[in-house]
Amino acid sequence: MLVIKISLYLFTFVLSNFIVLWFGATGLIFTALFLIPFDFVMRCMFHEQWKGIDLVIRLGCLISVASLLTLLINKDSINIATASMLGFVSAQTFAGIFYQSVIKKSIFVKVNGSDFIGIIVDSIIFQLVAFCYIDWKISASQIFLKVCGGLFWYWIIFKKYKFHEQWK
């Protein structure tokens, strides 16, 4: 089952990169509702299963592999791949620190609180690196949609189907 989780994580990560490559900053809105929040919620599942330095190394490898796959598929995607890697590394670092700081809290607080932190960081850093500016309207829309999408994926993965238990 780990192979399925990793494959889904990588697929949504790379697909998000290409949507932004094809549609520019507007593509951020398209990816914000379902794709990026899925990866944030998946990070929470990884956080529950991988501990300590294993979590840091494995998640770092996943982010790097997704960025490299983006580049291998289309060498013109260097700005997007770099922005994606820096945005996700920063976001997942802050999200992971928050998640760990509330590790004894409910899964709702851990997942959605850490996602919220990561979503803000990713939304700002990605735009800044990919486009050399921040469109605050797109950022606000993105943050709102990512939070809604994160709540959706939390409900699907942790509540409705309890995939986090099945995918151990």
Please state whether 106 falls in left (phi above 0), alpha (psi between -120 and 50) or beta.
Answer: beta
Tokens representing residue 140 in the block: 């606000």
Nearest residue to 12 (alpha-carbon basis) of 164, 146, 160: 146
Enumerate the H helices of 50-162 as residue ranges: 52-73, 78-101, 107-131, 136-154
φ/ψ region of 52 (left if φ > 0, alpha if ψ in -120 to 50, else beta) reads: left
Q: What is the pLDDT along the chain (168 residues), one digit of tens a residue?
A: 889 999 999 999 999 999 999 998 889 988 999 999 999 999 999 998 898 999 999 999 999 999 999 999 998 899 999 999 999 999 999 999 999 999 999 999 999 999 999 999 999 999 999 999 999 999 999 999 999 999 999 999 999 988 877 766
Q: How many domains, the chain?
A: 1
> In terms of residue numbers, what domain contains 48?
2-166
CA-closest candidate to residue 18, choices 80, 89, 83: 80
Q: How many CB atoms lie within 10 A of CB 3?
A: 7
